[in-house]
Amino acid sequence: MADAVVEFLLENLKQLLLYHVELLSGVKDQVESLHRELSLMKAFLKDSREKRSEYEYVRELVSQITIVAYEAEDIIDTFVVDAAAQKARSTMKRMIYAFDYSSKLRNVAKEIETIKVKVKEIYDKKLFGIESLHGREPSRKTPPQKKAPIVEEENVVGFNDEAQIVMDRLTKGSKELEIVSIVGMGGLGKTTLAKKVYTDPSIEFRFYNRAWIYVSQQYSRKEVFLGILDSLGLLSEQMYRMNDDRLAEELCGQLKSNRYLIVIDDVWTKEAWDDLKMAFPKTSYGSRILLTTRNTEVALHADPESPHHLQFLTDEKSWELLCKKVFRKGSCPSELEHLGWEIARRCYGLPLAIVVVSGLLVKREKTRDWWKKVADAVSLYVARDPKECMDILALSYKHLPDHLKVCFIYFGVFPEDFEIPVWKLLKLWVAEGLIQHLGQECLEYTAEEYLEDLVDRNLVLVAKKRANGRIKACRIHDMLRDLCVKMGAEERFLEVIKSSAENHSLSPIPSYHRRLCVHSHFLDFVSSKPYRPHVRSFMCFASEEVDLPREHTSFIQEAFRLVRVVDLRCISFSRFPNEIVQLVHLRYIAISGNFKVLPASISNLWNLQTLVVGTKSRELDIKVDIWKMSQFRHLYTSSLSCLCGPPAQTRKDNEDPFVRRNIQTISTVSPTCCTENILARTPGLRKLGIRGKLVTLVTTNGGSVMFDNLAKLDHLETLKLLNDTFPLHPSQCQIPSLPQWYKFPPNLKKLTLSDTFLDWQQICTLGMLPNLEVLKLKDYAFKGTHWEPLDGGFRLLRVLHIGRTDLVYWNASSHHFPRLQHVLLRHCEKLVGIPPSLGEVSSLQTVELYWPLPSAAASARLIQNQKVNNQLVQGIVNNSFKLFIYPPDL
């Protein structure tokens, strides 16, 4: 962790010296000298990586460097805050009170000199120490141990018999509602077994109404019910406003006349089950609840029938799982087979340990020495007691590359079983300085590669995938998260507060933890008047939205004046916290409330990269001048937003000073913002959301059409066009026609249209977009009864979503959609059928229908039969095609 601390501080100092040297007046020389000294420390840290686990002396030096770097960071960041405040006052004709600035400068200079002395002392010891290490015996510290996350659906081993037992319990027996429980220790594979059963074709066929919901030690009853309704495709905007009791009644009513299967994963207490069970009606259709828990008492409380106790894997199955994870479809070299059996055997049948150990083995060169080292470590620490698995996980952490260690520990900031949106995670990693530049590679792309690497190492689980196959949401196994929290606390990286009893804000001992995460009792925490001067990231993950009283609005600036990341999306502010603009180090802000204006003063946050604003107001006036903000990258708003443009360039012979190539996301803004003055200044834009009267985009105004400006966005991949014409109905202000295909962004991959009321004949324009992979036609994007695609279009289209429409006949052949993989039709209640030739598209994987006509459902089943028959002819045993129809035929 010291490597990351020093690396970030060096980058921070570099940015100050390059772009804000005026704030360092009087201490510039000291800062430059400190940069040189820390650069030497960086070299030492690099040289010492291999020795840290062996020599206590080196570990102590690394610990000292970490403390020094933290102290230096605090001094510099505090100085910059004070300097920025003084600069602001001087431009406001002097304030009421005087500020002894020169004295502050002298004190800071002295503190920096003190830090330099400490660095030099460490460096001198380092030179002596490394030379002396050859004569020292390494300290025999207990080797770290390792553990594994949930075994995923791929490469599942040893669960066939277990799965058949559970499926028999689900499909046979009484017609009354029954609760089937899977019980076992953490990491034994309860969730994996449940997922295997849940996705089995026979279960999918029997239970058309299926839902999966995660429950954990900290859960929200309301969120559980909303999650089930969402999984069933029944969620509406109105339901978000219901309380938990009303939601339980709504869910009960929806399930009452249907056969259903609900999986409730990771139930910890009897009280949790009692909290939820009222939502599940006791019907006579053969419905089932599948419950997973670590506690036999919970299972017996839910249903006195004998729960299914998951068994440990046999040695043979353990070895089989290890081979599948490490060698995929290959085989183990004979010289490693004995060691491999030993590694598998010493995992004692615990799938979690086997998968994580395999993650170690697959990433390193397969040599006898390395496998012997792993086998020895596993033999010392793997046991059936789940507490000891933490040591196994530590072994996995130890062998991560340095750049992944800090990213992995970062997962500790999120609560248990939290489904993490990848867009949010990547932006946070970048804002935290965890992602380093690799040539010209975009930081967010590098961050995504890091995440994929952690997934490959079986340390992070994929929760959802995007239509293009990339990860949309991820999660981390509870035991791995425990490791992250443990390692994060030891490294002063993060502190997690779960209850008001854990609030140590008044402790006389200074806390150097850089990240503070409040997972519950947020108002208790704020009321305690916290003061954390060392915190750089403050995040809250309350399970439900919390209204923040007006008297507490200023607490952030008072408690965390050096903060860089503020994520309070679940907290509703009664007014915009203007004090936030004094936090000059801010890089990431996520807040919500009833805001109508974002003040211009945010423009003074020169470090800001990401701004996420949720507002209950329908429109948001953005006064922020993002063109002054050289680091700005992403703007997300929940409402129709108006963005100010930069001053028009007066001279054509100079480079435009307002071009911002860093800006990648603008979502969502009014069509009136799509001027050349704005879009020409954002050539690196990758995602654009437009909401408002779209007719203004495509009609001539002063001889030009604003939509033409989009064609200049060479990097734009995602475009949303939402026709919001309130108070008029969208049909009264519809787009007359689509622009010609070559006026769209040339590299557009994903397009979403909503309420545009276009004629189906015009969809041929979209078919000509050369790189389009995902097309989402939300409610009434197109109108009319017939759609007949033209030849030669949609050559790369993989995903097609069609929302509410009056379409009746859809006539198409397989060559119209040669690469189509996923089709989703929602509320196409007049469509009589799906083109049967889609069954000839070899790439087609899923078809989902919500509220179709019986004839449309029947046509989908014909496609399913055709796909199954084609796969049988080709000798494919596992049916990869999935059909989902709601509501199903009982």
Query: Can you give 585-623 as a three-state secondary structure string?
Result: CCCEEEEEECCCEECHHHHHCCCCCEEEEEECCCEEEEC
* Distinct helix (H) and strand (E) counts, the chain: 26, 33
**The pLDDT of residue 822:** 94
446 pLDDT more than 70: yes
φ, ψ of residue 29 in degrees (nearest 5): -60, -40
- Examine the domain organization and report whether 360 and 457 are in the same domain: no
83 domain-assigned: yes
The pLDDT, as a whole number, for residue 486 is 85
The predicted structure's pLDDT at residue 146: 31
Strands (E), 503-593: 515-518, 537-540, 546-548, 565-573, 588-593
Q: What integer pLDDT is reported at residue 500 of this predicted model? A: 55
Residue 778's pLDDT band, with cuts at 50, 70 and 90, is very high
Which of 39-53, 428-442, 807-821 tops mean pLDDT?
807-821
Strand intervals (E) in 286-358: 288-293, 308-309
pLDDT score of 390 more than 50? yes
Closest C-alpha among 360, 2, 339 to residue 149: 360
| pLDDT given for residue 626 in this prediction | 92
Same domain, yes or no: 10 and 65? yes
Q: Model confidence over 242-254: pLDDT tens digits? A: 898 999 999 999 8
The residues pairing with 883 across neighbouring beta strands, listed in sequence order, are 847
Question: Domain count of the chain?
Answer: 4
803 is a domain residue: no
Q: Which CATH number goes with the domain that contains 240?
A: 3.40.50.300
Say whether 881 sits in a helix, a strand or coil: coil
Question: Is 259 among the domain residues?
Answer: yes
Of 342, 360, 392, the domain-final residue: 392
Residue range 567-594: average pLDDT? 91
406 and 379 assigned to the same domain: no
- Chain centroid offset of residue 267 CA: 24
* CATH code of the domain covering residue 438: 1.10.10.10
Beta bridge partners of 822: 799, 846
Reported as a pLDDT band with limits 50, 70 and 90, residue 411 is very high
**pLDDT confidence bin for 142, thresholds 50/70/90:** very low
- Nearest-angstrom CA–CA distance, 43 and 47: 6
Strand positions, DSSP E, 455-549: 461-465, 471-475, 494-497, 515-518, 537-540, 546-548
Mode of pairing for the β-strands spanning 308-309 and 178-183: parallel
**Residues 222 and 281 placed together within one structural domain of the fold:** yes
Residue 595: what residue type? Answer: F
Question: Does residue 577 have a cis peptide bond before it, meaning omega lies within 30 degrees of 0?
Answer: no
Q: Write the DSSP assignment of 77-146 as a string of letters.
A: HHHHHHHHHHHHHHTTT--SS---HHHHHHHHHHHHHHHHHHHHHHHHHHHHHHHHGGGSPPP-PPPP-B
Identify which has the larger pLDDT, 155 or 842: 842
Q: Which residues, 6+ apart, have CB-to-CB distance to 820 below 8 Å?
A: 794, 797, 798, 799, 800, 838, 841, 843, 844
Q: Do residues 614 and 638 touch, judged by C-beta distance below 8 A? A: yes
Verify that 345 and 271 share a domain, yes or no.
no
The string of pLDDT tens digits covering residues 47-94 is 766 666 666 766 777 777 777 778 878 888 888 888 877 776 654 433
For 735-762, what is the mean pLDDT? 94
Per-residue pLDDT reduced to its tens digit, 501-530 = 555 444 434 467 889 999 888 888 888 888
The CATH number of the domain where 375 resides is what? Answer: 1.10.8
- Distance (Å, whole) CA 671 – CA 785: 29
Q: Is residue 516 part of a domain?
A: no
Structure token digits, residue 550: 């007006």
- In sequence order, which ranges of 382-521 are alpha helices (DSSP H)? 389-398, 402-409, 422-431, 443-456, 478-490
pLDDT at 148: 31
Q: What is the pLDDT of residue 796?
A: 95
Question: Amino acid identity, residue 846?
Answer: T
Q: Mean pLDDT for the chain? A: 83
Most confident of 310-319, 463-472, 734-743, 865-874: 734-743
Helix 2-19 vs helix 28-48: crossing angle, to nearest 10: 150
Residue 538 lies in a domain: no
Structure tokens belonging to residue 476: 């981390």
Residue position matching structure tokens 């290890």? 322
The answer to which of 227-236, 259-268, 455-464, 794-803 has the lowest mean pLDDT is 455-464
Residue 880 lies in a domain: no
Same domain, 127 and 29: yes
**pLDDT score for 49:** 67
- Taking the CA atoms of the chain, what radius of gyration do you get in angstroms? 29
pLDDT value, residue 125: 64
**Could you tell me if 508 and 489 are in contact, meaning their C-beta atoms sit under 8 angstroms apart?**
no
- Last residue in a domain, options 331, 360, 392: 392
User: Which helix (H) or strand (E) segment is 262 a member of?
Assistant: strand 260-267
Residue 215 within any structural domain of the chain: yes
pLDDT of residue 130: 47
Say how far apart CA 758 and CA 768 lie, in whole Å: 16
The structure tokens listed for 19 are 């772009």
**Structural domain includes residue 685:** no
Q: What is the dihedral of CA 245, 246, 251, 254, to 10 degrees?
A: 150
Say yes or no: 173 and 234 in one domain: yes
Range of the domain at 339: 315-392
Higher pLDDT among residues 544 and 576, named by residue: 576
Last residue of a domain, one of 342, 357, 392: 392
Rounded mean pLDDT, 538-555: 84
DSSP code string of 237-256: GGGGGS-HHHHHHHHHHHHT
In whole angstroms, what is the distance from residue 829 CA to residue 526 CA?
50
Does residue 668 have a cis bond before it (omega within 30 degrees)?
Answer: yes
Q: Are 41 and 122 in contact (CB under 8 A)?
A: yes
169 and 200 together in one domain? yes
- Output the pLDDT for position 73: 82
Instruction: Say what the pTM is.
Output: 0.77
Place of tokens 């953005």: 622
**Which pLDDT score is estimated for 501?**
53
User: 164 and 295: one domain?
Assistant: yes
Strands 471-475 and 420-421 turn out to be antiparallel
Kindly state whether residues 246 and 203 are assigned to the same domain. Answer: yes
> Would you say 361 and 155 are in contact if contact means Cβ atoms under 8 Å apart?
no
Same domain for 170 and 294, yes or no, is yes
pLDDT tops 60 at residue 388:
no
Looking at residue 804, its pLDDT comes to 94
Place of tokens 């289209």: 797
* φ and ψ of 573, to 5 deg: -80, 140
Element (H, E) at 439: none
Residues paired with 640 in a beta bridge: 619
